[in-house]
């Protein structure tokens, strides 16, 4: 955890308290992310109260990571430049989030993800198929789509968490988050979020913002709870995916500003084996 976070944290923050800390501190989040979702990700970070920076140029990425509060490495479109930028950024010592998009299915990103794991991400966020593939237990899903359920990835999530010393967040109808010892489930959310480009990718970015102001476990849980509540609120107003995308950004802002209801979405799960 960086010095800025240590100045503002108690031993454990609830999701609501973690979002309040984010709004108070406006962490700087470096995003090395895929070209499809850059705009949506930046807007999501702004909506929750963080400061996004899409700095993914080799020669600058490592320097910028040194001043950022959190870093996202998303492997959705891993060009040669982005691969080099990611290698630089994860060496800076700043807490970082790995989003292993479509690993197991495609060889370049799969090899890069395996390489980056040695640099101990604070959080790994993915769907069940991605987590299984990253742990070497399956071949991956159908591109960015999961073909496995959250519970199927529970053992793989624990393995990865213990291996990296970080937290693994498995996204699904009920999210599963573990540090290898404790397991937490986050309930709720709306399926419209899966029909908007950048829903999952921006979730990883928000985790990177939160990891700048709280522990990795708190960050993953708080971001997951925020997305569950905000997606439900947006869906209640939307007529379809287009209006949902706009409503979701508004909901992220509103829920992050008044986050009391987030805590009710979190429940301890039985310890993973």
Cα 211 to the chain's mean position, in Å?
10
Q: Which residues pair with 73 in a beta bridge?
A: 32, 98
Q: Which residues pair with 168 in a beta bridge?
A: 124, 178
Look at residue 102 and tell me if it is in a domain: yes
Q: What is the pTM of this model?
A: 0.92
pLDDT for 13 equals 84
Neighbouring residues of 221: CB distance < 8 A, sequence distance ≥ 6: 15, 18, 177, 184, 186, 266
Give residue 201's domain range. Answer: 3-173+194-224
Rounded Cα distance, 174 and 241, in Å? 21
Annotated binding-site residue? 125: yes
Look at residue 259 and tell me if it is in a domain: no
Residue 3 has pLDDT above 80, yes or no: no
Look at residue 238 and tell me if it is in a domain: no
Given pLDDT bands bounded at 50, 70 and 90, which one contains residue 118? very high
Look at residue 188 and tell me if it is in a domain: no
Given pLDDT bands bounded at 50, 70 and 90, which one contains residue 105? confident
Look at residue 261 and tell me if it is in a domain: no
The string of DSSP letters for the chain reads --HHHHTT--S---HHHHHHHHHHH--EEEEE--TTSHHHHHHHHHHHT-EEE----TTTHHHHHTT-SEEEEE-SS--HHHHHHHHHHTTS-S-EEEE-TTBTTBHHHHHHHHHHHTT--SEEEEEHHHHHHHTTSS---BTTB--S-GGGGHHHHHHHHHHHTSEEEEESSSEEEESSS-EEEE----GGGGGSTTHHHHHHHHHHHHTTTS-HHHHHHHHHHHHHHHHHHHHTT-SSHHHHHHHHHHHHHHHHHS-GGGGGGEEEEPPP-
Tens digits of residue pLDDT in 146-165:
456 788 999 999 999 999 99
CATH number, domain containing residue 59: 3.40.1190.20
Look at residue 246 and tell me if it is in a domain: no
Given pLDDT bands bounded at 50, 70 and 90, which one contains residue 8? very low
Q: With contact defined as beta carbons under 8 Å apart, do 223 and 41 qualify?
A: no
For residues 176-191, give the mean pLDDT: 95
Mean pLDDT of the chain: 91
For 11, the token pair is 């031993």
Neighbouring residues of 66: CB distance < 8 A, sequence distance ≥ 6: 92, 93, 94
Residue 97 has pLDDT above 80, yes or no: yes
Q: With contact defined as beta carbons under 8 Å apart, do 33 and 72 qualify?
A: yes
Annotated binding-site residue? 171: yes
Look at residue 122 and tell me if it is in a domain: yes
Cα 35 to the chain's mean position, in Å?
17
Q: In what order do the strands lie in the sheet with 167-171?
A: 51-53, 28-32, 70-74, 96-99, 123-127, 167-171, 175-178, 183-186, 266-269
Given pLDDT bands bounded at 50, 70 and 90, which one contains residue 271? low
pLDDT for 272 equals 61
Look at residue 250 and tell me if it is in a domain: no
Question: How many domains, in total, are found in the chain?
Answer: 1
Tens digits of residue pLDDT in 191-230:
999 999 999 999 999 999 999 999 999 999 999 999 999 9
């Amino acid at each position: 955890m960086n010095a800025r976070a240590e100045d503002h944290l108690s031993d454990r923050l609830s999701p609501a308290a973690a979002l309040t800390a984010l709004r108070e501190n406006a962490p700087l989040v470096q995003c090395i992310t895929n070209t499809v979702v850059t705009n949506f990700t930046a807007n999501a970070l702004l909506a929750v109260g963080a400061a996004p920076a899409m700095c993914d140029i080799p020669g600058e990425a490592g320097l910028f990571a040194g001043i950022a509060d959190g870093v996202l490495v998303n492997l959705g479109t891993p060009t040669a430049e982005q691969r080099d930028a990611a290698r630089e950024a994860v060496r800076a010592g700043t807490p970082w989030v790995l989003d292993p998009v479509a690993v197991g299915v495609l060889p370049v990103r799969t090899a890069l993800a395996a390489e980056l794991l040695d640099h101990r991400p604070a959080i790994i966020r993915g769907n069940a198929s991605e987590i299984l593939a990253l742990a070497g237990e399956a071949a991956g899903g159908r591109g960015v789509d999961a073909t496995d359920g959250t519970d199927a990835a529970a053992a793989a999530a624990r393995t990865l968490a213990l291996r990296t010393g970080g937290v693994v967040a498995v996204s699904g109808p009920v999210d599963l988050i573990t540090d290898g010892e404790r397991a937490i489930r986050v309930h709720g959310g709306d399926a419209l979020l899966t029909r908007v480009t950048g829903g999952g990718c921006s979730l990883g970015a928000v985790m990177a913002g939160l990891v700048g102001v709280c522990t990795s476990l708190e960050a993953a849980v708080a971001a997951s709870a925020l997305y569950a509540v905000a997606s439900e609120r947006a869906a209640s107003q939307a007529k379809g995916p287009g209006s949902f995308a706009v409503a979701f950004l508004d909901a992220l802002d509103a829920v992050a500003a008044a986050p009391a209801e987030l805590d009710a979405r979190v429940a301890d799960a039985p310890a993973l084996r």
